Amino acid sequence: MLRENFKRIRAEIGQAAEKVQRSPDEVTLVAVTKAASAGQVKEAFEQGIRVFGANRVQEEAPKIAQVPGARWHFIGHLQTNKVRHVLPVYEMVQTLDRLSLASEMQRRAEKLDLKLKVLLQVNISGEKSKFGLAPWELGDFLQEIKTFNCLEPLGLMTMAPFTADPGEARPYFKKLRLLRDEHARPDRMLPHLSMGMSGDYTVAVEEGATIVRIGGALFGSDR
Ligand SMILES: *Cc1c(COP(=O)(O)O)cnc(C)c1O
């Protein structure tokens, strides 16, 4: 089943990219493992999926152990005291949303002498239930983390409100892209837009997503 799901998702990403004259190679599928078993994660790796997304540190550790060679992105709300578990296991944290977290990441990364790729999570919809910087906070925040030389800000991440109609997510994705365009600088291009999940990834690709985070549509929600 996973095999067919992967094939279908890849085809749909391809079609969505083609529709707007983008190359499907610009889009990375991050397989979100929160509802997947360690066995399913292993199977996904065997099918060729290389990048995985986790939103909890301890719970996902056994799955990470199953797939040596896989790349992991942290996509959940990250507590500052968990940063030490994230480094150096994860190559990217997609959910940087506050200065205290950035400081701790910088401190840990410096100690380990490594660079951590980060995306800035933005709360585009403004829903109270969602984490992330407000769009108008982004400029100052980017300025504030500039001195953190172990952090590599590579773009923005958002979650659209949950709706039955994926088309309703489009304005939020568009806003994230425009926000990125507004803040991109020659020395800080912010190339990545992580947006789109199982219900709306084709719309996200049409709006410029370079990373889609997909759980249910890949692993099946009935486990
Ligand atoms: C769970 C989750 C996803 C994947 O959601 P699906 O609807 O299962 O594809 C993507 N991003 C984040 C931040 C998540 O927590």
For residue 214, report the distance from its CA to the centre of ligand 1, in Å.
6
The whole-number pLDDT of residue 51 equals 98
**Average pLDDT of the chain to the nearest whole number:** 96
Ligand 1 pocket, residue 83 CB under 6 Å: no
pLDDT of residue 176 exceeding 50, the answer is yes
Say if residue 222's pLDDT is above 80. no
CB atoms < 10 A from the CB of 150, how many? 18
pLDDT in tens, 84-129: 999 999 999 999 999 999 999 999 999 999 999 999 999 999 999 9
**Cβ of 197 less than 6 Å from ligand 1:** yes
Which ligand 1 atom is at minimum distance from the Cα of 218?
A: 9
Please state the rounded mean pLDDT for residues 23-44: 97
DSSP conformation letters of the chain? -HHHHHHHHHHHHHHHHHHTT--GGG-EEEEE-TTS-HHHHHHHHHTT--EEEES-HHHHHHHHHH-TT-EEEE-S---GGGHHHHTTT-SEEEEE--HHHHHHHHHHHHHHT--EEEEEEB-SS--TT--SB-GGGHHHHHHHGGG-TTEEEEEEE--PPP-SSGGGGHHHHHHHHHHHHHH-BTTB---EEE---TTTHHHHHHTT-SEEEESHHHH-S--
Q: Tell me, in angstroms, the distance from the centre of ligand 1 to residue 88's CA.
A: 23
State in Å: Cα 76 to ligand 1 middle.
9
pLDDT in tens, 128-162: 999 999 999 999 999 999 999 999 999 999 999 98
> For ligand 1, is residue 75 a contact (CB within 6 Å)?
yes
The model's pTM: 0.97
How far apart are the CA of 211 and the centre of ligand 1, in A?
Answer: 12
Report pLDDT for 221: 58
Kindly report, residue by residue over 199-214, the tens digit of the pLDDT: 999 999 999 999 999 9
* Cα(197) to centroid(ligand 1), Å: 6
Measure 164 CA to ligand 1 centroid, in angstroms.
Answer: 15
The pLDDT score that the predictor gives to residue 163 is 86
Cα four-point dihedral sign 192, 196, 197, 203? negative
Residues 34-93 pLDDT 10s: 999 999 999 999 999 999 999 999 999 999 999 999 999 999 999 999 999 999 999 999
Give pLDDT, residue 223: 36
215 lines ligand 1 (CB under 6 A): yes
Half-sphere exposure of 47 (CA within 13 A, CB side): 21
- What mean pLDDT is predicted for residues 190-199? 97
Question: In testing the pocket of ligand 1, which one of 2, 8, 32, 78 has its CB within 8 Å of the most ligand atoms?
Answer: 32
Model confidence at 23: pLDDT above 70? yes
Residue nearest to atom 11 of ligand 1 (CA): 213
